[in-house]
Amino acid sequence: MTGSSSILEWIVAIATVVALLIAAWELRANAKISGQAHAREAWMRYLELGLQYPEYSSTEVTLKILKVPNVIRLWEKESRETLKYWWFFDCMMEACESLVNYFPEREWRNTIRYNLLLHEKALRFTWDNEKSYYSDKLNAIVTEVLGSDETPL
C-alpha cells in the first residue's frame, strides 16, 4: 500500500504544481488583457477630447487660436483656455504611456510619434521636467521625436 500511496502523493503534488502554474499564467494573461483595455480606453478618451476640443489638437493650432506667440507664453498665461490645453496635452501623454506599457511598441509607435509631433513645441518645452514620470519606452520615442526634423503634416 505504501508504494501506491507514494505514487498518489506524487501525482497530487504534480497536479498541484501544474494547477498553480496555470493559475499564475491566467493571472498574468488577465492582467495584460486588463491593461490593454485600460490603454485602449485612455486612447479613446484622448481621441474624444480631440473631437470635442479640436483647438487643442496641436500646439500650433492652440497658439494661433489663443493668439499666444509661443509655448512659454502659453505656459505663463493662466487662463481657462491655456489650462485646458495643458490638460489636453497631459491626457495625450498618459494615453501614449498606457499604449507603450501594454502593447508591443511596433503596434502603436507611428500613431504615438504622430501625436507627439503635433505637440512637439509643448513637448520640447516641458520634457526635461516631465520625462522622469514616464517609462523608458515612451522616453525613447519622445527623444526620437525631439531629435528629428519631421513635421506631422
- Cell for 78? 493662466
* Residue predicted with more confidence, 149 or 69: 69
* Res 87 pLDDT > 80: yes
Instruction: Render pLDDT for 61-75 as a digit per residue (tens, 0 to 9).
Output: 999 999 999 999 999
Cβ atoms 102, 32 nearer than 8 A: yes
Q: What confidence score (pLDDT) does residue 153 get?
A: 59
Greatest CA separation found in the chain? 90
Distance CA 81, CA 83 (A): 5
Residue 145, classified by CB atoms within 10 Å of its CB into exposed (0-12), middle (13-18) or buried (19+), is: buried
Q: What confidence score (pLDDT) does residue 36 get?
A: 86
Residue type, 75: W
* Residue predicted with more confidence, 128 or 16: 128
For residues 66-84, one letter each, b for 16 or more C-beta atoms within 10 angstroms of the residue's C-beta and e for the rest, the string is bebeebeebeeeeeeebeb
Q: What is the mean pLDDT of residues 100-119?
A: 90
Q: What confidence score (pLDDT) does residue 30 get?
A: 63
Q: What confidence score (pLDDT) does residue 12 get?
A: 77
The secondary structure of residue 148, as a DSSP letter, is -
Mean pLDDT over each residue of the chain, to the nearest integer: 88
SS3 134: coil
Looking at the chain, the whole-number percentage of residues with pLDDT higher than 90 is 63
Long-range contacts at 94-97 (CB < 8 A, ≥ 24 apart) = 94/42, 95/39, 95/42, 95/43, 95/45, 95/46, 96/138, 96/141, 97/134, 97/135, 97/138
Q: What confidence score (pLDDT) does residue 149 get?
A: 73
* Res 78 pLDDT > 60: yes
Q: What confidence score (pLDDT) does residue 95 get?
A: 96
Cβ atoms 70, 122 nearer than 8 A: no
Distance CA 45, CA 41 (A): 6
Q: What is the mean pLDDT of residues 101-125?
A: 91
10-24, 48-62, 101-115: least confidently modelled range: 10-24
